[in-house]
Chains A and B, each alone.
Chain A
């Protein structure tokens, strides 16, 4: 089983719609969680951290479910510019702050 698993997609989303997708992780000792965004042929960039209580940044909402070991990302009012691959990242502090990336979920927002 992969340490961090994501549905590769693509999720085809009409502009203005809401899309949500999850990421599951296998290491229950994982302590920090993040979503990174990667545009085609570009480097990953931090989108947001994921806190236990859930957090929101504009149209983006991230949530963590430790009991079921998954995190989620929801995008409201999708824009064409939201088209990208969203990488789920898990940090295991006990392993020396090792970041493990999921394979990414591809989102395509269409007019």
Chain B
């Protein structure tokens, strides 16, 4: 079974530029999550989708971050404009319809904002 796919794996941009990340969850997983993990910290949930609907985006900085999952499968996360403090690993995870008790994480995208 293929795992969660993410691209790109690494991205370096200058502050005020825009960036987008892509995630393809495990086939059949209805729930998709985007996390931000700053070095030395645990992952912080940015947004949770159930199919193509948003379940929780309370910690998403909506002035600069946006995410969509239009067809209920893959998803994109965008940052516009980026700030230095956005440097982090962005992890995508998915879980089965039974619940999020086990989330399967993708390899992440390591973003560096200079």
Contacts and interface: CB of A to CB of B under 8 A. Distances in A.
Interface in B78-107: 91, 99-103, 105-107
Interface in B25-60: 33, 35, 40-45, 48, 55-56
A56 B25 CA distance: 30
Interface residues of B, number: 21
Given A43-B91, A103-B41, A96 B105 contact: no
A87 B41 CA distance: 10
Nearest to B103: A99
Interface of A: 4, 6, 8, 32, 34, 42-46, 49, 87, 91, 95-104
Nearest to B44: A101
A43 B42 contact: no
Given A96-B56, A101-B42, A91 B100 contact: yes
A5 to B, nearest CB: 10
A91 B31 CA distance: 15
A53 B107 CA distance: 33
B100 A97 contact: yes
A102 B43 CA distance: 8
Contacts of A45: 105
